A and B are shown apart, each in its own frame.
Chain A
C-alpha cells in the first residue's frame, strides 16, 4: 500500500518540532536536558542502525525497547518510529519469564537496550529462543557479550552509523504499527494490543487542541513505557515542541518536589498518586502554581482527590480521563468543577464524562442492544482511536470486537466496563463485568494470578481478591488457598515473583479449610473480602 501523503506520522510530529525548535529542550532525563536537535541526533543513529538491518534480517515491523527512564528509552521509541517500525516496550522491573513471553509473542528479533538494563540482558540472551539483534546506543563495545553469545548480533554505540547516514522517509500509513502493548490475560498469557499510527494520531490531534499545548509546556512523564498512558506524555508533548520531564524512579511515589522544581505545566498520573500525596500532606494549598492541566486516568478518580488536587493547583484544570488500552490511551473526559462536580459524582467517584468528539459509544445490554438512558450496561466503543483486534488471538478478538445488532457494519470494542449515562450526558463508571481489576492503575486479570498460583501451590483451589481497596482502587492482591495441608508462603510468593510483575504478586496468602461458595455455587469473593476486613 502506498503511504498516504497527507498522513502525519507520530515521528513526523516530533521531527517538525525538532525543525521548528531545534534548541528548545525536548527531554529531561537522568538530570540531563536534551534539546530537540540533540535528541534527534541520537534518534537518527538508532533509526539508521535499524534500517541497515533491512537487507540482512527478514522483514520485521516491530522493535522491542528494553530501557528504563533513560535517554535510550525515549530515543529508542523515536528511533523505531523514525525507521517506520512500531515499538514494543519491555520493562526491566518485570520478571525475566514475562519479558521472554512478551518478546516471543511479539515476534521481535531486534531489541534496543538501555545501559541500565544490562543486568537483565544476559539472562534474556541466554533464554531467548531465536537469534536476536541487540542495539546498545549508550554502551561502548563489550567484548564479552558477543563472545559469550555468538548466536546473537550486537551493535554497540561506536558501531552505530552516524546521523548523517539517515534521512527520514515517511513510510507510515494510518494502519502502520505505533506500538504493541501487553496487558494481563485471563488465560495466564499476556494479551497483545496492537495500536496503529492512525489510532494515536487521532488521539494526539484531539488532545493537543483540547489542551492548547505549546512549546512552552513542560510535561510530566510518570508512567512506565509498558503502560499506554506513557504514549500520551511522549507524543502529545513532542507534537508541539514541548519538553518531557521524566520523573526519576525515586520521585515517582512522591513527585511533589519534582513538579515544583521543574515548574511542570502538564501533569498526568493515576489517581493513586494524588491519594498518596494527600496522605503524606504533600498537597498543600497552592503548592503547584505552575500546573495548567492536571490529568488523571487508569482507575476511578475519587472526588476527594480531585478536590485536594484542585486546591494544590488552583490555576490548573483538573480532568478525569477514561480509556482502555484498546481505545488508545483515553477516549472520555470529565472536567472537574469545584462548584458543581460534587453533585455529579456517584459513589464519591468523579464521572468519566463524555466520549471524545468524533469517537462513538453505546451502552448495551447482554444482547448488544442499547439500554435506555440511565440504565446500567456495557460500554462499547468505536471510532478512529479504537484498535481492530488482539495480537495473534482470533478467539479473543471475536469475543471483544463485535458488530452490534441493528447498527451499521462498523466494529465495536466491548470494554467489559459497566457504565450508566446520566441526563446531562455524563458517563459514570460502575465496575467491571468480569474479574479484571485495576491495581495502582494497572489492568490485572485475577485469573492470570490464579493460574500462576495453581501451579505454584499444586492445587486448583486458589482465589485472589483485590485488597486493600480504597475509593474503588485496589492497592494489591491477597490470595486464599485450600486443598493442601501446609502452605510454604515464601516459596509460593517467590514463584509468583518469577512470573508476575510486582503489582500482581499477592501480598499475603491465607490457607483456609475450604473456599466459600455463593448460592450459585461460585466462589464467594465478596465473603473473602469480608474476611479480610475482619483481619485488617
Chain B
C-alpha cells in the first residue's frame, strides 16, 4: 500500500472528525492545530475510534504508551506521530 503523506492524513482526519465528531463538528472549523478533546469535538470513546481509523489509513499500529497527551490530542501532532511510528 502506498504510504500516506502527512498532509493527506491530516485532511483525512479532519474529514473523519467532521463526519463523526460531537457538538456540531460538521459545522465547525477544524484545522491541523485543533485540539480534538479540549474543543469538545471528540470524547474519549470517539477518540479511540479515530485512532483505529488512523491505523487503518497508515496500516501501522499507534503506540501511545509513553506519549504525552498534548502530543496526540492535536490533529497535526497526532498524524505526525502516526506516521513516525511506522517509519
Contacts and interface: CB of A to CB of B under 8 A. Distances in A.
A257 B44 contact: no
Contacts of B56: none
Contacts of B22: 502, 507
A251 B48 contact: no
Interface string A238-266: 00000000001111111011001000000
A276 B42 CA distance: 14
B47 interface: yes
Interface in B36-70: 37-38, 40, 43-45, 47-48, 51-52, 61-70
B73 interface: yes
A274 B22 CA distance: 22
B69 A254 contact: yes
Q: Is the interface of B mostly helix, strand, loop or mixed?
A: loop
Contact of B48 (A252, A257, A276, A494): A276
Nearest to A490: B24
A279 B69 contact: no
Contacts of A282: 64-65
A253 B24 contact: no
A256 B47 contact: no
Given A250-B69, A493-B24, A507-B22, A279 B64 contact: no
B87 interface: no
A251 B23 contact: no
Chain A contact patch, size range? 20 to 34
B27 interface: yes
B69 A475 contact: no
Interface in B1-57: 22-24, 27, 37-38, 40, 43-45, 47-48, 51-52
Contact of A281 (B27, B37, B61, B70): B61
Given A282-B65, A507-B22, A253 B47 contact: yes
A261 to B, nearest CB: 9
Given A493-B24, A507-B22, A251 B64 contact: no
A257 B27 contact: no
Contact of B23 (A272, A280, A475, A497): A497
Contacts of B45: 276, 475-476
Contacts of B68: 257
A284 interface: yes
A287 interface: yes
B73 A250 contact: yes
Nearest to B66: A257
Contacts of A497: 23
A476 B48 CA distance: 15
Nearest to B35: A250
Contact of B69 (A251, A284, A494): A251
A280 B51 contact: yes
A467 to B, nearest CB: 11
B24 A280 contact: no
A494 B23 CA distance: 8
Contacts of A502: 22-23, 40, 43
B15 to A, nearest CB: 19
A515 to B, nearest CB: 25
Contacts of A256: 64-65
Contacts of A494: 24
A280 B70 CA distance: 16
Nearest to A503: B43
Nearest to A260: B66
B70 A254 contact: no
Contacts of B47: 253
A256 B38 CA distance: 19
A260 B51 CA distance: 22
Contact of B37 (A253, A272, A276, A493): A253
A454 to B, nearest CB: 21
A284 B70 contact: no
A254 B72 CA distance: 10
Interface string A265-296: 00000001000100111101001000000000
Interface string A427-450: 000000000000000000000000
Given A490-B24, A497-B23, A280 B64 contact: yes
A272 B22 CA distance: 19
Contact of A287 (B48, B65, B69): B65
Interface in A153-169: none
Contact of B27 (A253, A254, A490): A490
Contacts of B37: 250, 253
29 contacts: A248-B69, A251-B69, A252-B44, A253-B37, A253-B44, A253-B47, A253-B69, A254-B64, A254-B72, A257-B66, A257-B69, A260-B66, A272-B44, A276-B44, A276-B48, A280-B48, A280-B64, A281-B63, A282-B65, A287-B65, A476-B43, A476-B45, A490-B27, A493-B23, A493-B24, A494-B24, A497-B23, A502-B43, A507-B22
Interface of A: 248-254, 256-257, 260, 272, 276, 279-282, 284, 287, 475-476, 490, 493-494, 497, 502, 507
Q: Which 9 A-B residue pairs are closest in the complex by CB-CB distance?
A: A253-B44, A250-B69, A475-B45, A279-B48, A251-B69, A276-B44, A490-B24, A282-B65, A256-B65
